[in-house]
Chain A
Amino acid sequence: MRRLLLAATCALLTAAPAFSQTFRIALRQDLDVLDPTLATTYVGRIVFAGLCDKLFDIDEKLNIVPQLATGYEWADDRTLVIHLRPGVKFQNGEVLDAAAVKYSLERHLTMQGSFRKSEISAVDHVDVVDPGTVRVTLKSPSGAFLAQLTDRAGMILPPKAAEAAGKDFAQHPVCSGPFKFVERVPQDHVTLERFADYWDAKNIHFDKVVYQVLVDSSVRLANLKAGTVDLAEYVVPSDAAAVKADPKLRLIVSDALGYFGITNNLANGARADNPYGKNALVRHALDLAIDRVALVKVVFNDMYSPGVQAVPASSPFYDSALQVPTRDVAKAKALLKEAGVTTPVKLELLTFNDPDILQASEVIQSMAAEAGFDVHIQAIEFASSLQASQRGDYQAYMIGWSGRLDIDGNTYAFLHGAQGNNVSHYANPTVDKLLDEARGMTDIGKRRALYAEMWTQERQDLPITYLWIPRNIVGISAKLNGFRPVPDGMIRVQGLEMAK
């Protein structure tokens, strides 16, 4: 018996994970379907980065660079001609050509349940010019269209395999990326293995990639420190110091594409009928009461950037003239007086159950109290908060957006009067006109000027009180070389290798 126990103990102790050419990535949550047409989650996009190549990609400086395409040109402001990389194969052996691109774009546009439809709704039709060239004709000029092809809408699927699988494609996805699908255990992991015929095979240095779902941030950190994962795609700001202090790890912090703010209910149902919803002076008073610099310092250990617009400073559309306001409690009080409201002004701040966001809400509550607000925090679970905001059952809602490469993806759906994500029900004809005009242009300089004008109006009306720009905080093994921090937060496996 004693021998048996000893043997079992030894067996357990020696069962520590063996290191091979497997790259392990910790994800913050479980993904949804592994079908680029039907998928919606952020973490799903991280897995797609290993599985499916796109027509275009973005680099560290937010430039659009070719991936499956070798180049493109605008024949006119509605016609995009894309030249494809020759000799690219799908993981099932099919050849990636113009017909596959046409099939994939049309699948994204017409498949029932497609979430890509709205992203590429500008497409009128797609033509195959020759096997290496495809022509996309748009219904109207679109400045944001090319950026859409750097994400899931630009992922190309093998027509035969996708057609045969139909809606079951996600059970065994096939793409043209560096790794092919092996297995998925929901809530646990996705395993991919090296695709030998990948067009850029020389830049792939792992045999397998395992995406491990580790929801709890402490557990994610423990796995990173124990070396059972090589990279955590998201380290919470409060864990950043622990990663920095560990000589076996490196912390990589880079600009992200999203934003976080308070969406104010201006006209969405009866809950908008109060001084905060109806009088911009009251909203400005709250805006001035918040010290964004202190907020990000206290809650996010100074890892995020204070902000008042929907894009990071690295975006070509960033308006550098728009400065973060300095906290001014006296002026905030004066504004409330000018608005003729009785203090304390009661305000219900809807938020979801996330420790950092709750803490940020509490900091705002305390700052606002000094200016004459009585903020009541209503913290509920995320899905319920979404529904409450859609129904207009809120006054002010702490919510963020993961962000898109083009500014249109961060603004149009939230600030344009006719959009479903505009839960504030903000409707300003000037803003609508500027957003429409900017969307229909391709010249970045002209678009930047239109957005600058739009921000001036937005800052007057404050349908959204922007608070901070999150940053991508990634923890990696110190042995990992070749990591490129790209603002979209995706983990690009090309060029990554583990030092011997």
Chain B
Amino acid sequence: MRGHLGTRIAQVIPTLLLVSVLVFCLQQLMPGDPALVLAGEERGDPQVLAQIRAELWLDRSLPVQYVHWMGNVLQGNLGFSWRIRQPVAQLIFQKLPVTLQLGSMAFAIAVLIGVPAGIIAAVYRNGVWDYVANAVGLAGLSTPTFWLGIMLILLVSVDLGWLPPSGYVPLTEDWQQSLATTIMPAFVLGNAIAAILMRHTRSAMLTSLDQDYVRTARAKGLGEFIVVIRHALRNALIPVVTLGALELGTLFSGAVLTEQVFSIPGFGKMIVDAVFNRDYPVVQGVVLVTAFLYVVLNLLADVLYVVINPRLRGA
């Protein structure tokens, strides 16, 4: 196990290096000159454009630009946002907790809805509850985030006036307002993942419930609840955890849209704005940090397998 973890940790550095090269090269392929965007309505002045290019090293060759940026990153400096002239690390520090809060709430909602619904669907296979859970799951999967977000804003905020339609208040500032501003976007974000989790839990549970050890547990006279939760679910959870870890990526990409709809100043909104404004240091910084988080979360999923399934401890 230690060896396996060691290998996985060693893979982190080349992975991040590859991501940094990829994101650096890919954004150069994007059409649109950053100097033109940054110059705004002064874009007609060639002197202004030349000055911007010189200041931001855009007049140097690509490898020189990359080495310059990477050199700074290795010293812990992710650079400055070209557009708002704030350190990228400071921006990430401001935005990451927002998306983490939204993501955690969304994931909790997804698990709270998806896993029980999957269990119920499997236990009452081909029954009414199975059909209801499947129908709800399918609806969750098919509903576009953007549409659901706008509809909820119109219903819950404009018509009923229950929750603020958009914006964000940090947990540390006012927890009530913070929950009020994030509960709706978290539901929208968690909704699609809940549907996926439900379908996978159902399928894994159906497999588990047909196993010999479940039959044995029932033969021993254990109650159905114990059989389902202690015996079947524990084994069924391994593929669900794998999927959950993979869905964390979906959570981050989903946050891009959700944050746009609810005007939440998180990671997703920051990267969209940075891409449209050709704010390369922000794009690079955000992608690098996201890749790092993704790798770490997958590493955590590996550890979690071992916790759930004792048979893997000797591996």
Contact = CB atoms under 8 A, between A and B. Distances in A.
B212 interface: no
A216 B265 CA distance: 14
Interface in B59-101: 81, 83-86, 91, 94-95
Interface stretch (B5-13, B223-231, B269-277, B301-309): B269-277
A170 B85 contact: yes
Nearest to B262: A219
B116 interface: no
Interface in A371-423: 380-384, 386-388, 390, 401-402, 413-414, 419-422
B37 A386 contact: yes
Contacts of A168: 85
Contacts of A421: 43-44
Contact of B32 (A32, A222, A387): A387
B31 A228 contact: no
B160 to A, nearest CB: 10
Interface string A165-188: 001101100000000000001111
B61 to A, nearest CB: 20
A309 B176 CA distance: 53
A5 interface: no
A33 B150 CA distance: 30
Interface string B150-190: 10011001100111111110000010110110010000000
B39 interface: yes
A1 interface: no
A209 to B, nearest CB: 15
Nearest to A380: B31
B211 interface: no
B51 A215 contact: no
Contacts of B36: 383, 386-387, 390
B46 interface: yes
Interface stretch (A10-18, A82-90, A485-493): A10-18
Contact of A212 (B43, B95, B263): B263
Contacts of A30: 273
Interface string B231-268: 00000000000000000000000000000111111000
B261 A219 contact: yes
Contacts of A414: 44
A383 B48 contact: no
A222 B153 contact: yes
A40 interface: yes
B33 A387 contact: yes
B31 A113 contact: no
A13 B164 CA distance: 10
A13 B162 contact: yes
B39 A115 contact: yes
B158 A384 contact: no
B94 A185 contact: yes
B45 interface: yes
A188 B48 contact: no
Contacts of A464: none
B210 interface: no
Contact of A186 (B55, B179, B265, B276): B265
Nearest to B177: A15
Contact of B85 (A8, A16, A17, A33): A33
Nearest to B168: A188
Interface in B20-53: 30-33, 36-49, 51-52
B278 interface: yes
A265 to B, nearest CB: 16
A368 B47 CA distance: 39
Contacts of B277: 383
A451 to B, nearest CB: 19
A14 B31 contact: no
Nearest to A171: B86
Contacts of A381: 32, 276
A112 interface: yes
A222 B43 contact: no
A15 B180 contact: yes
Contact of A223 (B161, B163, B165): B165
B286 to A, nearest CB: 12
B263 A40 contact: no
A420 B85 contact: no
A113 B46 CA distance: 13
A420 B177 CA distance: 49
B261 to A, nearest CB: 7
Contacts of B55: 112-113
Given A14-B176, A15-B179, A383-B278, A214 B162 contact: no
Interface in A93-112: 112
A241 to B, nearest CB: 16
Contacts of A38: 85
B41 A40 contact: yes
A194 to B, nearest CB: 21
B150 A167 contact: no
Given A12-B176, A15-B177, A388-B31, A222 B158 contact: yes
B40 A422 contact: no
Contact of A12 (B163, B168, B262, B273): B163
A8 to B, nearest CB: 8
A118 interface: yes
B243 to A, nearest CB: 29
A216 B40 contact: no
A212 B42 contact: no
A90 B154 CA distance: 43
A481 interface: no
A390 B165 CA distance: 40
A213 interface: yes
Contacts of B43: 386, 390, 420-421
A225 B161 CA distance: 10
Q: Which of A8, A13, A188 has the most CB of B within 10 A?
A: A188
Q: Give 7 nearest A-B pairs by CB, closest first.
A: A40-B40, A421-B44, A383-B32, A188-B265, A420-B44, A15-B180, A384-B31
Interface of B: 30-33, 36-49, 51-52, 55, 81, 83-86, 91, 94-95, 150, 153-154, 157-158, 161-168, 174, 176-177, 179-180, 183, 260-265, 269-270, 273, 276-278
Given A185-B265, A188-B265, A226-B165, 14 more contacts: A12-B163, A15-B179, A113-B51, A171-B85, A186-B81, A187-B95, A214-B263, A222-B166, A381-B276, A383-B276, A384-B30, A390-B43, A420-B45, A420-B49
7 contacts: A16-B180, A185-B265, A187-B273, A216-B263, A222-B157, A420-B43, A421-B44
